[in-house]
Amino acid sequence: MSNYIGKSVKRREDDRFITGKGTYTDDISLPGMTHLAFVRSPYAHAKIKSINTKAATSHPGVVAVFTGEDCGNFGVPCGWQVNFKNGDTMKEPPHPLLAVGKARHVGENVAAVIAETLQDARDAAELVEVDYEELPAVTDANAAIQAGAPLVHDDIPNNTVFDFEIGNPKPDVDAAIDSSSHVTKLNFRNQRLAPNAIEPRSYIADYDVTVDKYTLYTSTQNPHLIRLLMCAFVLGLPEHKVRVISKDVGGGFGSKIYHYTEEALVTWASKEIGRPIKWTSDRSEAFLTDAHGRDYVTTAEMGFDKDGKITALRVHSEANLGAYLSTFSTACPTYLHGTLAQGCYTTPLINIDITATFTNTNPVDAYRGAGRPEMTYLIEHLMDTAALEMKKDAAELRKINFIPAFDGVNEPGYQTQVALQYDSGNYQATLDRALEMVDYDQFRKDQEASRKNGKLLGIGFSTYIEACGIAPSAVVGSLGARAGLYESAHVRVQPTGKVSVFTGSHSHGQGHETSYAQFVADKLGIPMEDVDIIHGDTNEVAFGMGTYGSRSLAVGGSAIIKSLDKIIEKGAKIAAHKLEAAEEDLEYGEGKWAVKGTDKSIAFGDVSLTAYVPHDYPEGLEPGLDFSSFYDPTNFTYPFGAHIAVVEVDKDTGKVDLKRFIACDDVGNVINPMIVDGQIHGGVAQGVGQALLEGVAYDENGQMISGSYMDYAMPRADDFPFFETDRKVTPCPHNPLGVKGAGEAGTIGSTPAVANAVMDAISHLGVKDIQMPLTPERVWRAMNT
Amino acid sequence: MQIKVKVNGKEHISDVTPMQSLAAYLREELQLTGTHIGCDTSSCGSCTIIVNGKAVKSCTLLAAQVDGDEITTIEGLAQNGEMHPLQSAFKENHGLQCGFCTPGMIMTAVNLLEDNPKPSEEEIRHGLEGNFCRCTGYHNIVKSIQHAADSMK
Amino acid sequence: MIPAKFEYIKASSVSEALDLLAKHGDDAQLLAGGHSLVPAMKLRLNQPGAVIDIGKIEELKNISEDDNHLVIGAGCTHEQVATSSLVKENAKALAQAASSIGDLQVRNMGTIGGSLAHADPAADYPAVILATGAKIVVEGSSGKRAIDAADFFQGIFTTALEGNEMITEVHVPKAENGVYLKFSQPASRFAVVGCAAIKNANGVSVGLTGVTDTAYRASAVEEAYNGDSKAASEHAVDGVEVMGDHFASAEYRSHLAKVFTERALNALT
């Protein structure tokens, strides 16, 4: 019975947000709370010769000043170990809470000033005197591995974190490329992006000496993971005495997954000073220190036979991981990237070769899509470029290369050349629908007509696939993950039949309080109002791995289903007793257990009451109706879809106007279409942002020249048309809800569609390729050289 | 120094420092934390409130500047428990996800619709130039404002 | 973020503001809308000892006209300038420039006097002020004077204002036929290039902003213009040292200056 699943139920969380009643971390004030300001390195690379904190310490209102020497042994860890090709362990230098000896990127924490007010803290921070000796810096991934490049970490040769290879043996791939009738080759940069959640990171730590317990309020996507990392790997705190609370969070996009130095520092310092401490990032600090995304330098070649069938894909990239290894940084260019190189094509031979490097820049980690947008851009940009080069239709070229449809139930999953096995897919269907939506034949006619009038219209495609529902623990463990990637759920049926669901996933915009309640209510056959969804507090939720990688519903939702199954199963025992029937004669539906073929039944609320008032009760059965579950997925999920962008290029200025954006996505089953559409819209906007507007830039000295909203182009309302969306449904065969995940699809698919559309608009002018972002100047230059 | 302001219909006499922004004053002194600070330099628009009938970015006003002024924040928009049509429209049209930019979006839209009760899509998009949203791609925000405009006719 | 400590003083009249300026000297800064000053203070790029708030001086907030001019009070907000029917009818280019500044909220606070005094090289107004041949009326301890637009903008963030002076009015010659067009920097939405063109009895006058360290009157374009916008616009950057930055190299900016000059001239009717 589906009263709620598949319906666009309005979000219950909105009531607090539209009235200003949300509780974001910075909204919280504690009695006696102090404020912390950081002194940050103004240099990309500098020796710290001395730090004089005397003037700062004696400034009115200052409670304490800390430097790296005070907390020198604490450092935040990387959560994923990737080994060199030769088996050596990756290079993992310490990442101290406050810089020790050297500062390695602009904005690195050098000292922390804690005071009664923010005014005092900021004023005193200006009085900390740091004697730096500036050193040469390197900011580019490719430059970093050249002989003679400055070493970010003195003992790590060539600034190399690791090298990595996945796919078929390189000689086989080389031979296939060499014998291809056409090879498309691109050299490009997938530029660095700043995530820009609109809520800046914020942490409040409160150490309570009377009970020797810590509470950390934090704007994180995964409170339990923060607690685990901080307790086990950073500060050595007793985990049972640390409570991490993540209430409302104003967007994450990956940047709030990681355990940051500032987070551990306020927690540690709160005990040192015996008072609560708040630190909220300002926007400048966010640009300098929120983990960035992307930043690859790539050479990619795709071979084709005379009919346009792909023969091989060969890729070499340098991935810039910044000065230190952020929590999941190492997974991004490897297992979240190389493993997607199959795309949705039958490419028989693939070799992906990656070198990960340290540079004097802010750490880079997963940003919406995490490795997958980069691979999708690579493949899909190759496809449209190849079509232009071979004078083939880009849509047709895809059709002859698509993996044929398979449902993963009657037909087996598709084994890729790069380790993954796709669960189910029907790639052609989404493209066909998208072509219909854009009215492709008509577009080509319009395009031809408009060219005659001097207008430059273009169309670009992207038929993407991604790997979500992260992830089977044993699989990721064998690949180096230092955590399991299951999810937990605890469902507590209250005596009156009201249901509290505690989930380890976390909502920071995704609407779990609504969509989870929808499927829980349907599964139990009760009204949605009787279901409450609770997340974001380690004292309430037993455990959790959090929300990222479009995993919440596929993994977290499945864990809830497991608990619900246990509740229905136990309820059946109670019902059978009350109905004086055999358990196997009962069926559950519409909120009651009924004896099959009779009108005898007992309602959910009667069973729950009986479970807690067990007077007339099955012998030997425990009272209560309350179950925890852990769900560890058996595979990733593989959403896919077709995106089409239509652009017009101003031939005088090079400015690109996005006229239309069409997305037909297949994210498996859908619980709340309104929310899924919203995820696609937001994702598309971020992907378009990468294609046309955004980019973090460092100058040759490692100074960030895009460190404010005056310099970093954020997508705005007038940069977009309304998006045109539709979807196909190919259920996921391996999780109970049949869902695949929708959080990243928009971002992963959209970027190449836009870049390809620009190329389609101007390639007849002899333009070969343009680096992202496709700024007006770059487009103008390409048209005029 | 002392200021006297009327916030959401209620008069407040408060001591502020010259350095205190209006946003900080509302959040810290009046506990009106629905006004959010996203950039603190008048770019992102999360802190938008209405001062004397006009939408302004409260992070870039000093509290001292608004002495004697009348202020409406997101908390004061609903009247007698009844949501403002924009608040209802944002919920109805899924015009928000994480909710952080939402109060600023709504307050900007209040001014936008006051100046132009029947805006075109283009006018709405232009009117939101000073408000960043990273979640929605603006699609449903624009829809929400269109629907609110229709319902306010 | 929070500024370094300063003293805040509210002025309720021009004369009071001038007295305060004289008293505090170079240590004081005037605060009108504050949308350039306050962020700079928060970033601690600007740390005045005293801030004199002129934002509530009513006598600075009027827009009126005489036979040949609009008289715009320095305290008028961009929104006031953009929506005033007097301005729209008599100085269309100025209204267009005002409506293209920042965003709705910024236009509700920012003032024409504040913007002109700040003299950001990418600000919108200066192109129009120059093209219309407006005069900037300033008052100081030594009295009142009117500065020709051409003499007012002296360089990056530099004007002819003396330390003890403040702008009180802007006198803009009426011209029905004018236009302001800009190519916005995608992040800040300041002008990468902004061009104001005004048609008058002698031909056209053209002001450009964003191109170099200060806005300028493109006299070479004006001289060359004989109805052929394209040919005239080729002279848009004659003798100008064009700026280059992250968003537009000098070469591209020069090109844009020509494109927008041509477009502005074509938009004149």
Q: Please provide the distance, in angstroms rounded to a whole number, between the alpha carbons at the two ends of chain B.
A: 44
Structure confidence at residue A785 (pLDDT): 87
| Assigned domain for A574 exists | yes
* Residue C236 contacts A where some CB pair is shorter than 8 Å: no
Place of tokens 């939506």: A437
The greatest distance separating any two alpha carbons of chain C, rounded to the nearest whole angstrom, comes to 57
Structure confidence at residue A73 (pLDDT): 86
Taking 60 as the threshold, does the pLDDT of residue B76 lie above it?
yes
Nearest residue to C255 via CA among C233, C225, C226: C233
* Residue C152 contacts A where some CB pair is shorter than 8 Å: no
* Residue A781 contacts C where some CB pair is shorter than 8 Å: yes
Residues A179-216 pLDDT 10s = 999 999 999 999 999 999 999 999 999 999 999 999 99
* Contacts C7 to B, Cβ<8 Å: 18
Contact C33, C55 (CB under 8 A): yes
> Average pLDDT of A9-34?
98
| Assigned domain for C111 exists | yes
Per the omega criterion (within 30 degrees of 0), is the bond before A136 cis?
no
Which of B97, B106, B138 is nearest residue A720 as measured by Cβ atoms?
B138
State what percent of residues in chain C have pLDDT above 70: 100
Q: Which chains touch B (3 or more CB pairs under 8 A)?
A: A, C
| Assigned domain for C1 exists | no
Give the amino acid at A451. R
* Residue B4 contacts A where some CB pair is shorter than 8 Å: no
* Residue B13 contacts A where some CB pair is shorter than 8 Å: no
What is this structure's pTM? 0.97
Q: Please tell me the distance from the alpha carbon of residue A717 to that of residue A463, in angstroms, as a whole number.
A: 26
| Assigned domain for C217 exists | yes
Which of B103, B122, B140 is nearest residue A20 as measured by Cβ atoms?
B103
Can you give the residue range of the structural domain that contains A267? 15-135+199-250+256-289
Q: Please tell me the distance from the alpha carbon of residue C39 to that of residue C37, in angstroms, as a whole number.
A: 6
| Assigned domain for C190 exists | yes
Q: CATH number for the domain including C168?
A: 3.30.465.10
Which of A284, A705, A777 is nearest residue C248 as measured by Cβ atoms?
A777
| Assigned domain for C250 exists | yes
* Contacts B35 to A, Cβ<8 Å: 20
Q: Indicate if C198 and C250 belong to the same structural domain.
A: yes
The residue of chain B nearest to residue C5, with distances taken between CA atoms, is B19
The residue of chain A nearest to residue B45, with distances taken between CA atoms, is A198
Nearest residue to C10 via CA among C50, C48, C41, C52: C52
Q: Please tell me the distance from the alpha carbon of residue A306 to that of residue A180, in angstroms, as a whole number.
A: 8
The greatest distance separating any two alpha carbons of chain B, rounded to the nearest whole angstrom, comes to 45
**Residue B29 φ/ψ, nearest 5 degrees:** -90, -40
Residues A444-456 pLDDT 10s = 999 999 999 989 9
Do residue B43 and residue A710 have CB atoms under 8 angstroms apart? yes
Contact C180, C94 (CB under 8 A): yes
Structure confidence at residue B81 (pLDDT): 87
Residues A726-780 pLDDT 10s = 999 999 999 999 999 999 999 999 999 999 999 999 999 999 999 999 999 999 9
Q: Can you give the residue ranges of every domain in chain B?
A: 2-76, 85-151
Do residue A780 and residue C44 have CB atoms under 8 angstroms apart? no
Residue A619 structure tokens:
């012998």
ipTM summary value? 0.98
Residue A468 structure tokens:
């979500």
Phi-psi region of B8 (alpha: psi -120 to 50; beta: other; left: phi over 0): left
Domain final residue pick, A586, A611, A631: A631
Residue A340 structure tokens:
């997607």
Which of A118, A710, A781 is nearest residue C188 as measured by Cβ atoms?
A710
* Residue A14 contacts B where some CB pair is shorter than 8 Å: yes
Q: Which chains touch C (3 or more CB pairs under 8 A)?
A: A, B
Q: Indicate if A318 and A389 belong to the same structural domain.
A: yes
| Assigned domain for A531 exists | yes
Going by CATH, does the domain composed of B85-151 fall within 1.10.150.120? Answer: yes
Residues A572-591 pLDDT 10s = 999 999 999 999 999 999 99
Domain final residue pick, C138, C173, C208: C173
> Which H/E stretch holds residue A592?
strand A592-595
Which of A653, A711, A714 is nearest residue C246 as measured by Cβ atoms?
A711
> Average pLDDT of A614-620?
96
Domain final residue pick, C125, C144, C173: C173
Give the number of A-B residue pairs with CB atoms closer than 8 Å.
Answer: 181
Q: How many CB atoms lie within 10 A of CB A187?
A: 11
* Residue B60 contacts C where some CB pair is shorter than 8 Å: yes
Which of C35, C39, C108 is nearest residue B54 as measured by Cβ atoms?
C108
Number of structural domains chain C divides into: 3
Q: CATH number for the domain including C30?
A: 3.30.43.10
The residue of chain A nearest to residue B100, with distances taken between CA atoms, is A250
Do residue C247 and residue A777 have CB atoms under 8 angstroms apart? yes
Nearest residue to A199 via CA among A244, A264, A248, A243: A248
Mean pLDDT score of chain A, rounded to an integer?
A: 97
Residue B129 structure tokens:
């130039």
Residues A620-668 pLDDT 10s = 999 999 999 999 999 999 999 999 999 999 999 999 999 999 999 999 9
Helix (H, G, I), strand (E, B) or coil at A645: strand
Q: Which residues pair with A245 in a beta bridge?
A: A217, A537
Q: Indicate if A744 and A645 belong to the same structural domain.
A: yes
Helix (H, G, I), strand (E, B) or coil at C263: helix
Q: Indicate if C77 and C149 belong to the same structural domain.
A: yes
Do residue B91 and residue A11 have CB atoms under 8 angstroms apart? yes
| Assigned domain for C167 exists | yes
Structure confidence at residue A426 (pLDDT): 97
Do residue B56 and residue C2 have CB atoms under 8 angstroms apart? no
* Residue C102 contacts B where some CB pair is shorter than 8 Å: yes
Q: Indicate if A696 and A548 belong to the same structural domain.
A: no
Residues B36-50 pLDDT 10s = 999 999 999 999 999
Taking 80 as the threshold, does the pLDDT of residue A72 lie above it?
no
Q: Indicate if A311 and A443 belong to the same structural domain.
A: yes
* Contacts C247 to A, Cβ<8 Å: 775, 777
- CA C61 to each of CA C11, C66, C99: distance values in angstroms, whole numbers, following the listed order: 14, 16, 17
Number of structural domains chain A divides into: 3
Residue A135 structure tokens:
């050193």
Q: Please tell me the distance from the alpha carbon of residue A160 to that of residue A144, in angstroms, as a whole number.
A: 8
Q: CATH number for the domain including C215?
A: 3.30.390.50
Instruction: Give how far B4 is from chain A: nearest CA, Å.
Output: 23
* Residue C42 contacts B where some CB pair is shorter than 8 Å: yes
* Residue B4 contacts C where some CB pair is shorter than 8 Å: no
Residues B97-146 pLDDT 10s = 999 999 999 999 999 999 999 999 999 999 999 999 999 999 999 999 99
Burial tier of A391 (Cβ tally within 10 Å: 0-12, 13-18, 19+): exposed
Q: Indicate if A532 and A646 belong to the same structural domain.
A: no
Pure H helices in A31-126: 54-57, 118-125
Domain final residue pick, C139, C154, C173: C173
- The CB-based long-range contact list for A390-394 (8 Å cut-off, 24+ gap) reads A390/A182, A390/A304, A390/A308, A392/A308, A394/A460, A394/A461, A394/A756, A394/A760
Domain final residue pick, A289, A310, A338: A289
Taking 60 as the threshold, does the pLDDT of residue A1 lie above it?
no
User: Kind of pairing, strands A656-666 and A723-727?
Assistant: parallel
| Assigned domain for C195 exists | yes
Domain final residue pick, A607, A631, A655: A631
Contact A722, A65 (CB under 8 A): no
Can you give the residue range of the structural domain that contains C96? 63-173
Instruction: Give how far A536 is from chain C: nearest CA, Å.
Output: 28
Structure confidence at residue A331 (pLDDT): 96
Residues A508-559 pLDDT 10s = 999 999 999 999 999 999 999 999 999 999 999 999 999 999 999 999 999 9
Helix (H, G, I), strand (E, B) or coil at A289: helix
Q: What does R_g of chain A's alpha carbons equal in angstroms?
A: 27
Residues C73-115 pLDDT 10s = 999 999 999 999 999 999 999 999 999 999 999 999 999 999 9
> What is B2-76's CATH superfamily?
Beta-grasp domain (3.10.20.30)
Per the omega criterion (within 30 degrees of 0), is the bond before A112 cis?
no
For chain A, how are helix, strand and coil distributed in percent, rounded to 5? 30, 25, 45
* Residue B3 contacts C where some CB pair is shorter than 8 Å: no
Residues A341-400 pLDDT 10s = 999 999 999 999 999 999 999 999 999 999 999 999 999 999 999 999 999 999 999 999
Q: Indicate if C69 and C49 belong to the same structural domain.
A: no
Q: What does R_g of chain B's alpha carbons equal in angstroms?
A: 15
Pure H helices in A180-235: 223-228
Nearest residue to B26 via CA among B41, B44, B46: B46
Q: Indicate if C132 and C160 belong to the same structural domain.
A: yes
**Residue C104 φ/ψ, nearest 5 degrees:** -50, -50
Q: CATH number for the domain including A515?
A: 3.30.365.10
